[in-house]
Amino acid sequence: MEQLDQIFSTQIGAGVILLRLTLACLLGAVLGLDRELRDRPAGLRTFIMVSLAACLFTMISIELSLALEGGAEQTSIRPDPLRIIQAITAGVAFLAAGSIIRHGKRLEGLTTGAGMWLAGAIGLACGAGFEAIAALVTVMALIILVGLKKLESGLDREK
């Protein structure tokens, strides 16, 4: 593991990086699998990529913050974690908006877009080291996507 730490040359450490990236992929896959099984435009690979990218952006921002804070020379640059959150949110929102299609008075793809947005947040949480929160949110999202779909189907039949 020490050789990997030297290769990555990060303050977070290679083991932690691997854990965070892997978890971001797995949790993104859980949400993407639901979309894939429903034959939605953004599925398994898209959700994994969104979550992985958000995780990477977050870890890079953490590493940059640590490097700036621990540097020998004083700098006027102040790390702002809110900026990375805003940038990830804007980027994922752009992708999510592309999944929304209007058919007359009906909109399709809203749940897919919301899921992509959530996959970005889950990746961000993994990258920031909040793995337990990311896992909990993934379970909650899966309950919402699968459980409420059954409820919605029951309500549609009653109409």
pLDDT bracket for residue 12 (50, 70, 90) = confident
Residue 55: predicted pLDDT: 93
pLDDT bracket for residue 82 (50, 70, 90) = confident
Q: Which of left, alpha, beta for 68 (phi over 0: left; psi -120 to 50: alpha)?
A: alpha
What DSSP designation does 143 have?
I
Neighbours of 27 (CB within 10 A): 28
Q: What is the tens place of the pLDDT at every residue in 32-76?
A: 998 889 888 778 888 999 999 999 988 888 887 877 776 555 566
What DSSP designation does 76 have?
S
Q: What is the tens place of the pLDDT at every residue in 121-150?
A: 999 999 999 999 999 999 999 998 888 877
Alpha-carbon distances, residue 153 vs 113, 143, 156 (angstroms): 20, 15, 5
